A and B are shown apart, each in its own frame.
Chain A
Amino acid sequence: AQSVTQPDIHITVSEGASLELRCNYSYGATPYLFWYVQSPGQGLQLLLKYFSGDTLVQGIKGFEAEFKRSQSSFNLRKPSVHWSDAAEYFCAVLGMEYGNKLVFGAGTILRVKS
């Protein structure tokens, strides 16, 4: 069965600093990978997704993620964080043979210091 691990429950960065949120997955086949962001009291917004091809994926709001098959990782990065990026971030893997189920990590809460 597929699973997703986000090792960091909370991360605090200063505004303008770079950001990397870690995500490791366990899945037998080629994974479909996603990053979602959830602002307080809001729903889920898709930041970016990886299906195949180029392992560096660009998303919205200046985010990017790199798929590394050898490390089973799909880390999210942003070169310069803005205060509005404070939110909870979820990594997810889509299991086609499990009824198109998205399996989510537990989430990483990002705090931004001014």
Chain B
Amino acid sequence: EAQVTQNPRYLITVTGKKLTVTCSQNMNHEYMSWYRQDPGLGLRQIYYSMNVEVTDKGDVPEGYKVSRKEKRNFPLILESPSPNQTSLYFCASISSQGAGQETQYFGPGTRLLVL
């Protein structure tokens, strides 16, 4: 079954304690992305990756890092989490670049609370 998985699904942490949210896809997609969802703001892109070792900032990258060492995995790293990073996070992968039938497949979400 084609899917995007995220772990953990729920996380409570304290300010300053480094954490990593993992994301993995089994569809051999080149393009992956991280979003955060906040009430009244919809989803906003944090970082994206167009291929292995190719990453770039989205709209709200401050306080986050990513890596793309292999095609299937795209972890989101919070080096020093702060309360304003409390949010619902979604990982997504997309089938291809360029004109065509691109569709973004979303993971189930990770709900993060930073105290």
Chain A interface residues (CB < 8 Å from chain B): 4, 9, 32, 34, 36, 42-44, 46, 49, 51, 90, 92, 94, 96, 99-107
Contacts and interface: CB of A to CB of B under 8 A. Distances in A.
Contacts, number: 61
Contacts of B44: 104
Contacts of A46: 103-104
B58 A101 contact: yes
Interface of chain A, main secondary structure: strand
Interface residues of B, number: 29
B94 interface: yes
Nearest to B106: A44
8 contacts: A34-B104, A44-B106, A46-B103, A94-B102, A99-B48, A101-B58, A102-B33, A102-B35
Nearest to B41: A106
Nearest to A101: B45
B108 to A, nearest CB: 4
Nearest to A32: B102
Given A32-B102, A101-B33, A101-B58, A106 B42 contact: yes
A107 B35 CA distance: 15
B99 A96 contact: yes
Interface string B27-49: 00001010100001111110010
Contacts of A92: 43
A105 B108 CA distance: 19
B107 interface: yes
B102 A100 contact: yes
A92 B90 CA distance: 15
Given A9-B40, A90-B43, A106-B41, A99 B106 contact: no
A44 B37 CA distance: 11
B90 A43 contact: yes
B26 interface: no
A81 B35 CA distance: 30
Contact of B42 (A34, A49, A100, A105): A105
Nearest to A94: B102
B31 A100 contact: yes
